[in-house]
Structure 1
Amino acid sequence: MNHQVMNRRLRTLARLTFGNTASRIYLGLVLAAAVFVAADTLFVSHDDASFAGGWVFFLAAPTVFAFIVGGSMAGAEAGGPAWFLYLALVVSVLVQACALGWFTRLLRGTGREHSARPQGA
């Protein structure tokens, strides 16, 4: 594959994932939930387990569950090691942010046909 084509595809993926309002709002919500979970874990003492981490999984659903099921089918026991769960969360959030960007672009109709127009038209 040509180097320029690969760079163009990576820029398009980055633009879909981080370059639109819907994806930014989603990523902001996920970041806020992660900060809440970190603060709850570090600074609040609980008599029993806290369900704060459930918000991050809720925001990463349904793709995070596909990764967890895939990991268990590959031999990981009970959700796998912690690093696998964190990686599944991060990848799930990025996949969903990209999907939101793609869906937003689809709704606006700004696909390839839009970029082929001359600048002055």
Structure 2
Amino acid sequence: MNSRENMMTSERLTGLARLAFKNRASQVYLALVAAATVFVTVDTLFVHHADASIAGVWLFFLAAPTVFLFLIGGGAIGEGFVASAGFLYPALVVSVLVQAVAIGPFVRLLRHRPAPATGRPREA
């Protein structure tokens, strides 16, 4: 790659990072995911359950619907592949980041939505 391509790639990554981390809605979403991750980790490591805990479901709820697209795509490769931690954890992380990036333009769209038209229609 030449320096111009490196600069363009760097600008794209900076723009994506700005969308994911520099707006309040994305920050709130990522904070919820971080809190759920801490909860799941503590529940998994330190709480004894007579049967399986469903605490990890909260991470999937927060990563939905993107994580389900990864699971469907991984399912096409093989069920054993989808069930592996080497696929599942990166799929969760990428899903959360994709959604954090998508929240930025969505919030911008909501803020800059044109005002609804009022009054009578114009006559020709």
Normalised TM-score (structure 1): 0.83
1:34-91, Cα deviation, whole Å (9 max, x unpaired): 0000000111100000000000011000110110110010224373311200000000
Q: Residue in 1 aligned with 2:33?
A: 30
Normalised TM-score (structure 2): 0.82
Q: Is 2:7 aligned against 1:4?
A: yes
Structure 2: give runs of 5+ residues left out of the alignment: 113-124
Aligned residues: 109
Structure 1: give runs of 5+ residues left out of the alignment: 110-121
Taking the aligned partners of 2:41 and 2:68, their CA distance within structure 1 comes to 21
Taking the aligned partners of 1:106 and 1:100, their CA distance within structure 2 comes to 10
- Displacement of 1:3: 2.7
Q: Residue in 1 aligned with 2:58?
A: 55
User: Larger C-alpha radius of gyration, 1 or 2?
Assistant: 2
Identical aligned pairs, as a percentage?
60
Q: Is 2:54 aligned against 1:41?
A: no
Taking the aligned partners of 1:34 and 1:2, their CA distance within structure 2 comes to 36
Q: Would the aligned equivalents of 1:72 and 1:80 in 2 still touch at CA under 8 Å?
A: no
Amino acid at match of 2:28: I
CA distance change for structure 1 residues 8 and 91 in 2, over 3 Å: closer, same or farther? same
